[in-house]
Every structure is written in structure tokens, then in C-alpha cells.
Amino acid sequence: MRTRLAVAGIALAGVALLGAGGTYAAFTDTESAAPVLVQGGTLDLTLGTQAGADLAPVTFANMVPGAAPTAGTYVPSQNFSYVRLTNDGTLPGRARWSSRGVSELENRCLPPERTAGDTSCGNGNRGGELGDQLRLSFSLMPGADCTGQPGVVPPESFPPTDNRGFRDIKPGGAGPALVLAPGASRCVRVDVYFPSTPANNLAQGDSSTFQLSFRLDQTT
């Protein structure tokens, strides 16, 4: 009789130990949410003409010295082109421009050039002086279709054939920079001036090519 009680006691102790060890499981319920999509925003600048077509190379022929804009007035140059800037991205961007020199072409020395002291006649197709005298003016047009009277922007005091870093496009040449919202377009008028100075005889018959670049920088 004592032996049976001892055995039963051992069995009961074993049941208690199993319960304390946590071998049974509580109820649980798991649900999954909808998939999470993460997509980066975009800045996509496209360049076009006044009519909206793709921008093609621009040529100004037979340039002659002429007037440049002064404070309080806007005197358009004889040589200008419109550039339509469009933000095809999903983020707003600050519009900027830069110029990069490509080449200066002498195209032979004319008698007035020699009289003015041109010494680059023997440098093949290099050594022209036109690019050193050119000046640029960037005017933001008030109308999205490139119409209206732009703000006064004096021409930049550097030749476009110099390498220059990106700078803001500003209405009237001052104030906050132009910011293009997603899907927005604005027109910039690029005037190329050949200032009226006696030194311009050095550039008779010369030619110059340079590259304009435009960029959008994220603003938010």
C-alpha cells in the first residue's frame, strides 16, 4: 500500500513540472498589411523652342557691333533665341544655367583686323577674338508662351566662351531664382551682344561656338 502511494506522488510531481516548462501554446492571430511601395521623386528637365519643338543648334550669322541693355531699359539684341524650360518630373526644381567654351575660329585675317593689331593670323583655325568680346543676357519671359516684355537683365560681363559654373536664372536679374513646379514651363530669352567698341575690328570675320547648359536643382 505504501509503495503505490509513493509511485502516485512521483507521477503528480512530474505533471506539475511539465506545466511550468511552457510546452503548451497560447492562442495567436497574425494578419499582413497591404504591400508598401516606396518610389523616389524625379527632376526631368527638357529644353524646347518657343513653339515647343526640341531645341536645335542656334546660329547667328553676320554679327555686327550693337547696343546692349542698360539700367531702366531693355534693348533687345539683333541676335537672340528662346529656350523653353519644362519640368517633366514630379518635384519642384530651381532653374540654373552655365556656359562652357568650345572653340574660337580665326577664319583668316582681314585687313581691318591686321590694322587693329591682330597677330593670330597664322594660327590655323584657332585664335579668333570674337568670343572674348561677346556678352550674354538671360531674360525670363513673363508669358508661358514666350510672349510679353521681359525684365531688364544687363548682359553678363564675361565672354560665354569662358567656362562658368551653374548660376540661378532670376527674373530681372535679381530677386528669387526661378523655380519650376512639376509640369511647369517658362521661357528664357538668350540675347547675344557684340558690344560697340573699337577693339571689335579684331573680330571681323571670326566665329565662335560655345555650349549653354541648363539644370534643375531640387528645392524641397
Q: How many domains does the chain have?
A: 1
pLDDT in the model for residue 184: 92
Query: Does some domain include residue 183?
Result: yes
State what percent of residues in the chain have pLDDT above 70.
73
Return the biggest CA–CA distance within the chain. Answer: 139
Identify the segments of the chain with pLDDT beneath 70.
1-25, 51-53, 68-76, 120, 122-128, 151-155, 157, 172-174, 198-199
Burial of 122 (0-12, 13-18, 19+ CB in 10 A): exposed
Instruction: Find the domain containing 178 and state its range.
Output: 48-218
Q: Can you give the pTM of this predicted structure?
A: 0.73
Distances (CA, A) of 85 to 167, 186, 202: 15, 5, 35
Query: Does some domain include residue 112?
Result: yes
Query: Does some domain include residue 79?
Result: yes
Write out the three cell numbers for 174. 535679381
**Tens-place pLDDT, residues 76-105:** 677 888 888 999 999 999 999 888 877 777
Averaged pLDDT score across all residues of the chain: 76
Query: Does some domain include residue 212?
Result: yes
